Structure 1
């Protein structure tokens, strides 16, 4: 969990760092102040459920998160920062100048921490000032990094602090057949194919999304990260970033910005298991701020399968698919297309927006 506890609700907001200029400190301050005010204002809410209201009164919980951190730092530091990642984020890497032995790795580490510390301080100062002025109990910690995969897609951000899957990729998003959003996507030019679960009698994937046997659609969207065209970026294979490099960056975020917990998924190969295990042990033994991280196995020979949610592609393929989207496009107004298909009687079947027991409020207040 990113916010540890039970029997409470947490007010969350999220900053999309990929949209912010690394050199514009005022823009960064405005963004994090806005995120802080969003969560602080919600502390006025009164819960009907007594246990949630009691929790709010004794320990108000808020969390200002961000996404697109990796993109932000690429834009801030350039290709050398990516090369440092490619090398594993080692210490004493890259000479910073002709007349000094100041390492680029030291510079990157210090500047990363500087950004993270400044944002954390802005959030806490803003939340606490708001609470003091409105007579609300101060939350004792206000920053987190929440899971941000789907929301990151709205602005093309790399999720949370994580590196993207590739500089360019096909993102496939699952919808129910004839979902209004999917129909609007078709008019906007995106291709639609049956999902991985839709197969014929012989177990072969269906190809026609309008086949009566098809129940779900995959909308295919070609995506490029904001820095994809940075000179030299295509030479960096993001899929080869080591587990130890990911661990190092996760700890940087946890120690520099986060006061709750950081949503973290470290992708690890079999050959890295012992190295990463030892590093996690050291982080715990040395009290380096480690709380938790999910581990996801990487298999270089089986990284993809048909209609994979994220399928890396090269620039020519991305350019071709993007051009095809424009050829198919019937309207440049996605909202108008959506309104055309929006049906108040359409029922969406699928997982709840939040299936945590924290979100399943009782219909009636509990009797005491």
Structure 2
């Protein structure tokens, strides 16, 4: 094994265990990211998948031609250039590939039965094929252009907002439900929110807007209201698959989620996987044991966030994702059409948005844009 200089070792250790974007910890480096929306691909069309991952690989590889002005960034890239080709909508892709039987296997906890092992083998074939495509394309590009090869090129990045653009289940995760009411936070009178009203979507005050008695406001035009929630009824792409409604995805066990996450980490990801495992109190011991085993047996586990299920504790009103049944979804959809005043969302937006507006208002990360203050790194 070659000796690694101390300064390079220190640089690399700063990166180990980061989330895929590296925006939480670490310093002096940048990661070039791209994302494949698997929910838009045909599981039977291997050439389409090859083309998609080739495009994602080239889009990050070409960014390695950029030369940083800052010396510390240039040095970091010379030591270890970082790229990450990610995907989202994996769960949707596999439902379309394997059908309701795959969902039923999930519901049973992804057991190691003959059927289960066959499903795992097929999952691995897809994941390995995509990973190999990414590395082959990036390394070939780097060799042809005299650029140092990144030693790892695949990741699954946090993919909440971007997944919504194509109605993909985020990253590798199961969706919250087959159908749900999505609530997106805007400041009051935001041009996009006003256009949403014209397009038929309902707007309600946010969780932070309350009266003098601490009760939530109901009128979005109340002068006390400062933030709006735009409510959008959403269904996953496989919601109407025969038999899918019999599966409650919110009941998928924490060990089953862990098993699927390890498939992704072991068969596709060479950086780190953004992973949030949702669990109930009764699952803590079993999940803790499984994580211990993954570390003990060196299975490639790096990290995962753990989140208590909403239904396991007191919840709160006007959730960002509120599961709804088929009938409620259909009623919400009809209500949107009944309220709609225009068929052209772009023209509605142009009516309210005359150009760049200073952002002010919604708190937290569920806004229409990032609200974290911009920071300038120390020299």
Task: Give me the TM-score of the superposition, normalised by structure 2.
Answer: 0.89
Q: Deviations over 1:90-138 (max 9, x none)?
A: 001xxxxxxxxxx211110000000000000111111111111221111
Task: Give the counterpart of 1:253 among 264, 267, 283.
Answer: 264
Task: Report how far residue 354 of structure 1 moved.
Answer: 7.8
Contact 1:2 1:144 in 2 (8 A): no
Task: Give the counterpart of 1:198 among 198, 209, 212.
Answer: 209
Contact 1:86 1:236 in 2 (8 A): yes
Q: Secondary structure at the match of 1:330?
A: coil
Contact 1:265 1:295 in 2 (8 A): yes
Task: Report how far residue 338 of structure 1 moved.
Answer: 1.8
Where does structure 2 lack aligned partners over 5 or more consecutive residues? 1-17
Alignment partner, residue 40 of structure 1: 61
Task: Give the counterpart of 2:101 among 42, 62, 80.
Answer: 80
Q: Secondary structure at the match of 1:7?
A: coil
Task: Give the counterpart of 2:221 among 197, 210, 213.
Answer: 210
Alignment partner, residue 7 of structure 1: 28
CA distance, structure 2, for counterparts of residue 137 and residue 299 of structure 1: 46
CA distance, structure 2, for counterparts of residue 122 and residue 138 of structure 1: 15
- Aligned-CA RMSD value: 1.7
Aligned 1:287-306 pairs, distance under 5 A: 287-300=298-311, 302=313, 304-306=315-317
Moved more, 321-330 or 310-319: 321-330
CA distance, structure 1, for counterparts of residue 67 and residue 312 of structure 2: 53
Q: Secondary structure at the match of 1:136?
A: coil
CA distance, structure 2, for counterparts of residue 188 and residue 41 of structure 1: 40
Q: Secondary structure at the match of 2:180?
A: strand
Moved more, 149-158 or 344-353: 344-353
Q: Is 2:140 the partner of 1:140? A: no
CA distance, structure 2, for counterparts of residue 206 and residue 68 of structure 1: 35
Task: Give the counterpart of 1:54 among 75, 93, 99.
Answer: 75
Contact 2:182 2:321 in 1 (8 A): yes
Contact 2:280 2:312 in 1 (8 A): no
Alignment partner, residue 285 of structure 1: 296
Q: Secondary structure at the match of 1:229?
A: coil
Question: Structure 2 vs 1, CA of residues 17 and 354 (structure 1 numbering), >3 Å: closer, same or farther?
Answer: farther
CA distance, structure 2, for counterparts of residue 299 and residue 353 of structure 1: 25
CA distance, structure 1, for counterparts of residue 81 and residue 74 of structure 2: 9
Alignment partner, residue 269 of structure 1: 280
Q: Is 2:375 the partner of 1:360? A: yes
CA distance, structure 1, for counterparts of residue 159 and residue 278 of structure 2: 17
CA distance, structure 2, for counterparts of residue 319 and residue 241 of structure 1: 25
CA distance, structure 1, for counterparts of residue 184 and residue 314 of structure 2: 18
Contact 1:2 1:145 in 2 (8 A): no
Where does structure 1 lack aligned partners over 5 or more consecutive residues? 93-102
Alignment partner, residue 108 of structure 1: 119
Task: Report how far residue 303 of structure 1 moved.
Answer: 6.4
Q: Secondary structure at the match of 1:222?
A: strand
Task: Give the counterpart of 1:341 among 332, 352, 366.
Answer: 352
Q: Secondary structure at the match of 1:174?
A: strand
Q: Is 2:111 the partner of 1:90? A: yes
Q: Secondary structure at the match of 2:272?
A: coil
Contact 1:304 1:311 in 2 (8 A): no
